[in-house]
Amino acid sequence: MSTKIFVNLPVKDLERSKEFFGRLGYSFNPQFSDENAACLVISDDIFAMLLVEPFFKSFTTKEIADTSRSTEAILALSADSRAEVDEIVDRALAAGATTNRDPMDEGYMYGRSFEDLDGHQWEYMWMDASAVQGS
């Protein structure tokens, strides 16, 4: 069985976050979703649990990071092409995300990033596998 990852992210407005990620083309697993959480399906093995802040707080004794002042993580995902990177980031921006840095273009590697509605930093990257040493 492959290892799966469930990234837990605090959100202020669960319905608004679900709408945002739905506009990016993602779906949700209703089996693991309720009024406190939504299970965002990124792939067969990658999930983001969007948790309303009071529910998120029940899993930690630390304060929730203020994403307007600090970055708690950068969630980096691969894409199959440069066009796919542009497509998903453009959809995110149209859905209300904000740009947080300029695109990165090394020729064989291309990436763009955005901050979602709650300030979480997402990065989408494409890399030409044939340009990677040892390929």
- The answer on 121 and 94 residing in a single domain is yes
Asked if residue 103 is part of any domain, the answer here is yes
- The answer on 80 and 118 residing in a single domain is yes
- Backbone phi, psi, residue 84, to 5°: -65, -40
Domain with 27 in it: what CATH number?
3.10.180.10
Number of domains in the chain: 2
In tens digits, the chain (135 residues) has pLDDT values of 889 999 999 999 999 999 999 999 999 999 999 999 999 999 999 999 999 999 999 999 999 999 999 998 999 999 999 999 999 999 999 999 999 899 999 999 999 999 999 999 999 999 998 887 665
Q: Which long-range contacts (CB under 8 A, 24 or more apart) does 79-82 make?
A: 79/124, 79/125, 79/126, 80/126, 81/126, 82/110, 82/126
Residue 17's Cβ-count burial label (10 Å; 0-12, 13-18, 19+) is buried
The span from the CA of 81 to the CA of 128, in Å, is: 8
- The answer on 98 and 38 residing in a single domain is no
So what's the pLDDT on residue 4? 94
- The answer on 85 and 45 residing in a single domain is no
Distance of CA 111 to the CA centre of its chain: 14
- The answer on 130 and 80 residing in a single domain is yes
Which residues constitute the domain of residue 42?
1-60
pTM across the whole model:
0.90
Length of the chain: 135
- The answer on 76 and 130 residing in a single domain is yes
Between β-strands 27-29 and 37-41, what pairing exists: parallel, antiparallel or unpaired?
A: antiparallel
Asked if residue 48 is part of any domain, the answer here is yes
